[in-house]
Amino acid sequence: MINKIHTLGGYFHEYQKSYSNPEDFWEQQAECLYWRKRWDKVIDWNFEEPRINWFVGAKLNITESIFEKNLYTHGDNTAIIWEPNDADEQAISLTYRQLYVEVNKFANALKSLGVKKGDRVALYMPMVPELAIALLACARIGAIHSVIFAGFSAQSLADRINDAGAKVVLVSDGGYRGSKITPLKEIADEAIEQCPVVESVVVLKRTKCDIQMVGGRDIWWHDIIDGQDEYCPAEEMDAEDPLFILYTSGSTGKPKGILHTIGGYMVYTAYTFRNVFQYSRGDVYFCTADIGWITGHSYIVYGPLLNGAQTLMFEGIPTWPDAGRFWDIVDKHQVNQFYTAPTAIRSLLSLGNEYLAGKRLDSLKVLGTVGEPINEDAWHWYHDHVGKNRCPIVDTWWQTETGGVLISPLAGITPTKPSFATLPLPGVFPVIVDNEGKELKGNSVEGNLCIKFPWPGMARTIWGDHDRFRDTYFTSFKNYYFTGDGVRRDEDGYYRILGRVDDVINVSGHRLGTAEIENAINEHPLVNESAVVGYPHAIKGQGIYAFVVCPILSTGGEEGIRKSIKEGVSKIIGPIARPDLVQLVPGLPKTRSGKIMRRILRKIAEGDATNLGDISTLLDEDIVGKIIDSALVDV
């Protein structure tokens, strides 16, 4: 069993212990899991190269900590509860033993395609049990999984498959999303045309929509597992061998393949899951994220399963058939811990309390949020109406790069304050620095959030680009990992995340790079250049505001161009990146050296033109007034 903290005093004690001797602390946590060979050294690191190695020399297979270690004690307990998109379809539950068999069979299926240790497997799938099975099957044979969120476009999918060099792609015919079907196989076919490395495509039948099977390349999931042996020996892996690549957005255009390795990620997700959610054996835990994002990796699949937990996977969306769906699921499966994103809370709040009427919600013990700052209104609604004033809220701050939660209350233990992620977990040592890199000590300070010591779950590199890894996270502030977030530490030492300080925006909890969106806009034939910024949006947290220079208007006029720009972005990146507002402008505010002054555009998009700061370095100061005059928000 993973160690669990029970009291606030216990938290402070563990924190202190971890601070004075992180190696001993993490060694104790690691000992709760199953290793074939013990480590020679707990950690070997420097943040200059950076080189981050945890549990050096240890050998393991993460699936043995999930299965072999526990099958005799809780093999018949439920591992995965699956709730389909359509509530009339039968929910499925898989015990640990059943899941183990499915994982082994699929692992053997992958082997039959020639997948070996270190090979990359890309997944473009809906939220079905086979997705979790496939991740674990990859881990079983030492293949590196790379899940691509099923809302991305063919182009985005192709870019990621190529960057990862995936030779096998797992897909389903289609994916249900409420009343709609996304033609995943069709999108994947378009993508794979541009991916010469792909040798095989395994297709799961889910929606039974019409698809084309490509001869010599495509094979049905049910055919490939048919007759496979129910046991597949686990590949012996090094603690620092890769577990997965997950793409995320950064300040520049190209998405980054964040690489996580096995040993440290295992220890970190197992420890944080148990402690943040205060999970007890028998509880039903429901995280509403998609496995296409880090939250799904760490807190639907690995963290819960390493704890022998019952983890609920939901295929559908919160608003179908109506906005009471989450609450129906909570009642139906007697969910104890519920973890979602502020954007979902805001959207359900805006639809009214009638969808909560008649829902009992009395099984709930803990509520969680992740992905973006939660505003106080949403926090109170969640607390009062969903948690009925009984359930602590854990506002968990973390990132794709951090692998697991870094700053969060421990449910029911750490006193909470609305919109505060509160205190760092044991083993996590945050620092706040000003723009010059000077550490701001003490309380009541605000600045850039950095972490000064490694934790086991942190990313090790960007796939194929270690220089970019160093430059992005370790050069802004010497000897620190820089998160890209601004933060305030209040008078009580509590942390409140203020949002990104770089060119990353957070739209409905999805992380997007402004440069990526600009690149997509600039592909429009009539567009000269563009600049994208975030602006406050009541439901999405941030909306996407694009300022676009487009000197010649087509026959469709301004409206037509705006529409085709938005559609272009949807097509190139995916609907999640579709701009909310497109303002056609005569030019962008640029300095004499040609740099766009985004600060000004951000202010305008926020509807505040009162304090634009120094604009004297602008090449053409008049442009600012022109942009303000035709702004799409009240300035």
What residues line the site for ligand WTA (CB under 6 A)? 248, 293-295, 370-373, 395-400, 421, 483-485, 497, 499-500, 506, 511
Nearer to ligand WTA, 168 or 515 (CB): 515
Q: Which two tokens stand for residue 515?
A: 């440069």
Least distance from ligand WTA to the Cβ atom of residue 471, Å: 17
Structure tokens at 168: 């096998």
DSSP single-letter state for residue 402: G
Q: Taking a C-beta distance cutoff of 8 angstroms, is the pair 144, 245 a contact?
A: yes
Q: Report angle CA 483, 488, 491 to the nearest 5 degrees.
A: 145
Do residues 344 and 513 lie in contact, with contact meaning Cβ atoms separated by under 8 Å? no
**CB count, 10 Å around CB of 613?**
9
Query: Measured on CA atoms in the order 470, 473, 478, 481, is the torsion positive or negative?
Result: negative
Q: 473 and 267 in contact (C-beta within 8 Å)?
A: no
- C-beta separation of 55 from 263 below 8 A: yes
Shortest Cβ 341–ligand WTA spacing (Å) = 9
**CB of residue 213 to ligand WTA, shortest distance in Å:** 34
Closer residue to ligand WTA in complex, CB, 18/369: 369
Q: Which is nearer to ligand WTA, 160 or 511 (CB)?
A: 511
Which is closer to ligand WTA, CB of 228 or CB of 400?
400
For residue 311, the 8-state DSSP code is E
As measured in angstroms, the least distance from the Cβ of 511 to ligand WTA is 4
DSSP 464-531: T-HHHHHHHHTTTTTTSEEEEEEEEE-TTS-EEEEEESSSEEEETTEEEEHHHHHHHHHTSTT--EEE
Tell the smallest beta-carbon distance from residue 193 to ligand WTA (Å): 29
Q: Which is nearer to ligand WTA, 459 or 527 (CB)?
A: 459
Contact 161, 185 (CB under 8 A): no
Q: Tell the smallest beta-carbon distance from residue 377 to ligand WTA (Å).
A: 15
- 255 vs 263, which CB is nearer to ligand WTA? 255
Distance CA 251, CA 484 (A): 10
Nearest in space to 316 (alpha carbons), one of 329, 303, 305: 329
Q: Which SS3 state, helix, strand or coil, does residue 442 take?
A: coil
In order, the DSSP letters of 559-628 are: HHHHHHHHHHHHHHT-GGG--SEEEEES---BBTTS-B-HHHHHHHHTT--S-----TTBS-THHHHHHH
> In the complex with ligand WTA, which residue's Cβ is closer, 147 or 548?
147
The single-letter DSSP state of residue 401 is: G
For ligand WTA, the closer CB: 67 or 495: 495
- The DSSP output letter for 203 is E
CB of 215 to ligand WTA, least distance (A): 38
347/339 Cα distance (integer angstroms) = 15
In the complex, the smallest distance separating the C-beta of residue 472 from ligand WTA, rounded to whole angstroms, is: 12
CB of 383 to ligand WTA, least distance (A): 15
**Least separation, in Å, of the C-beta of 114 and ligand WTA?**
33
Nearer to ligand WTA, 421 or 631 (CB): 421
Are the beta carbons of 461 and 470 closer than 8 angstroms? no
Nearer to ligand WTA, 476 or 506 (CB): 506
